[in-house]
Chain A
C-alpha cells in the first residue's frame, strides 16, 4: 500500500506551523504520530495536498507540572509517554491506565495525545478521563492562542471547534480537590480493539459523602459526553451501593449510543449502566487508579 503524493513540510517552530496551516487551510493536514492520518490516507478517506509534520517540535512532547496550574501534557506526548510518565503515575494513575490500554504497543509508541483528541473519534480513550478531571486544552492559531475546556471541544463525529489554522499544543489537568478517578473501557479484545463503551469518573469524597463528581462517557454518543443527570444523583449525597446503581441507570438513560458492529444500542446502554457503577465504586474506594 502506498500513499498518494503530497507536499511535506517540517516546520521548526509552532508559529511557522500555524503560518503554513493558514496558508494551505483545508488543503493541509497536521501529521503528529500518523497512526490515524496515514491510515486514512491509505484508505483514500483523506488525500491532503500538503502535510505539515510536527516532528520538529520536540518541546510539545513534554509532560510537566506547573505549580498553581497543574499537570501540562504536550500534545505530541505519545500514549506510551503518558502511560510511563512518573509524574502522571503519581498524580493521576487513571490517565496512565487509560493510555496503557489503547490499541497496541507499536501504535502507543507513536500515537499522540493530540491526535487522540483532534481526530474526534467517539471511542477515543483519552478524552473521557481528561474531561472527568476537568482538563483544558490550549489551541495555537494565527490570531493567537485560546484555552478552553476539553469538554467543549467536540461537536460531532470527526468534528470539533478547531479552526483550519489551529494546532492543539497542550492539555492541562488543573490541580483539583478530587479524591479519586478512574477509567474503565470495555473492548471485545484486550488489545487492538476500540472501546465498545468506556466510562470515566472523578469524585470528591468527604467521608462517605460525595461532594462533587464528574462522569464522562466514551463511545456512548457522537461525542465524549458528561453524564450530568447521573452526577446530580450523587452530588452531596451519602454514597450507598443503591445510589451508585441509580447513577448507572441514569447514565444509561441519558446517553445516546448507536448500534454498530461492535455492539447494539441496547447492549451499549447496559454497559454504560454497569461500567458507571463500577467506575464510581473504584474511584471512591481506591483513589486515582
Chain B
C-alpha cells in the first residue's frame, strides 16, 4: 500500500508508483482519483480518451497487466503494482506498431476518438491469440464503441495485422 501524506486540511494523499509503458512515475493522488484522470492530467498521456466515463464505451481502455480495462472505473491507488500500457506505449521508437499501420492502411480510423481503445483491445487479443477468427475479433472489441460505425474496417484491420504475423 502506498505511503500517505495528510495536508493541513486533513486531506489524505497517496504516493503512488505507476508503471506506465515501462516507466515508473510517482504521483500524489487522493483516494478518489481515477486512473484515466491521472494518466491524462498528471502524466499528460492524453491518448487515453474519455467518453461515457461509465464503462460502456471503451474510449478510456488501457491494458492492466496485458488485459484491457476501462481506466474510468479504476482507482489510481489500485493500479499500483500493475503494468499499465496506454496507446502511447504501443508504438516503438517513433515507429507505429504493425497493428496501427494496419488501421491506417485499412481506413479503420474515421474521427479517431475510439481508435486508442480499439487498438489496445485488439493488441491484447493478438498478444493472447495471434490468429483470431472474425468472431473473436468482434468479441474482443465488443467493449469499444465506434460512433462513426466503422466496425467493418476496424475488424478488417485487425485481421490483416494478424495475417502479417
What is A's interface to B at a CB cutoff of 8 Å?
1-8, 10, 31, 34-35, 38-39, 42-43, 51, 53, 55-56, 80, 103-107, 109-110, 190-192
Question: Whole-angstrom distance between the alpha carbons of A56 and B81 in the complex?
Answer: 11
The proximity string for B residues 27-64 relative to A, scoring 1 for CB distances below 8 Å and 0 otherwise, is: 00011101001000000000000000111101001001
Query: Please, could you name 25 A-B residue pairs with CB atoms under 8 Å apart, sorted by A?
Result: A1-B53, A1-B54, A4-B32, A5-B11, A5-B31, A6-B31, A7-B12, A7-B31, A8-B12, A8-B77, A31-B75, A34-B73, A34-B78, A38-B34, A38-B73, A39-B55, A51-B31, A104-B58, A104-B142, A105-B121, A106-B68, A106-B69, A106-B143, A109-B69, A190-B142
Contact A105 B54 (CB under 8 A): no
Residues of A with C-beta under 8 A to B156: none
Cβ–Cβ contact A106 & B31, under 8 A: no
Residues of B within 8 A of A107 (CB): 55, 70, 143
In the assembled complex, B139 has its CB within 8 A of some CB on chain A: yes
A196 to B52, CA, bound (A): 23
B36 — nearest CB in chain A belongs to which residue? A1
Which chain B residues border A106 with CB–CB below 8 Å? Answer: 55, 58, 61, 68-70, 121, 143
Within 8 Å CB of B74, what residues of A? 34, 110
Majority secondary structure, B binding face: mixed
Q: How far is the CB of B129 from chain A (nearest CB, A)?
A: 12
Q: A7-B31, A8-B77, A191-B143 are in contact. Are A109 and B54 (CB under 8 A)?
A: no
From A6, A56, A105, contact of B140 by CB (8 A): A105
A103–B144 Cα gap in the complex (Å)? 12
Cβ–Cβ contact A110 & B73, under 8 A: yes
Contacts from B to A (Cβ < 8 Å): 1, 11-12, 14, 30-32, 34, 37, 53-56, 58, 61, 64, 67-70, 72-75, 77-78, 121, 139-140, 142-143
Chain A residues with Cβ below 8 Å from B37 are 2
User: Which are the 3 A-B pairs with shortest beta-carbon distances?
Assistant: A104-B143, A8-B31, A191-B142
- Residues on A with C-beta less than 8 A from B58 are 104, 106
- With A2-B37, A39-B55, A53-B78 as known contacts, state yes or no: A105 contacts B30, CB within 8 Å: no
Given contacts A2-B37, A191-B143, are A105 and B32 in contact (CB under 8 A)? Answer: no
> In the complex, what's the smallest C-beta–C-beta distance from A262 to chain B, in angstroms?
15
Given contacts A8-B12, A105-B121, A109-B69, 9 further A-B contacts (CB under 8 A): A7-B12, A10-B1, A31-B75, A53-B75, A104-B58, A105-B139, A106-B121, A109-B64, A192-B143
**Chain B residues in 8 Å Cβ range of A5:** 11, 30-32
Q: Which residue of B lies closest to A50 (CB)?
A: B31
Instruction: Give the distance in Å from the alpha carbon of A1 to the alpha carbon of B75 in the complex.
Output: 13
A175 vs chain B, min Cβ distance (A): 32
Contact A6 B142 (CB under 8 A): no
Q: Which residues of B contact A51 (CB under 8 A)?
A: 31
User: For B75, what are the chain A residues with a Cβ–Cβ distance below 8 Å?
Assistant: 8, 31, 34, 38, 53
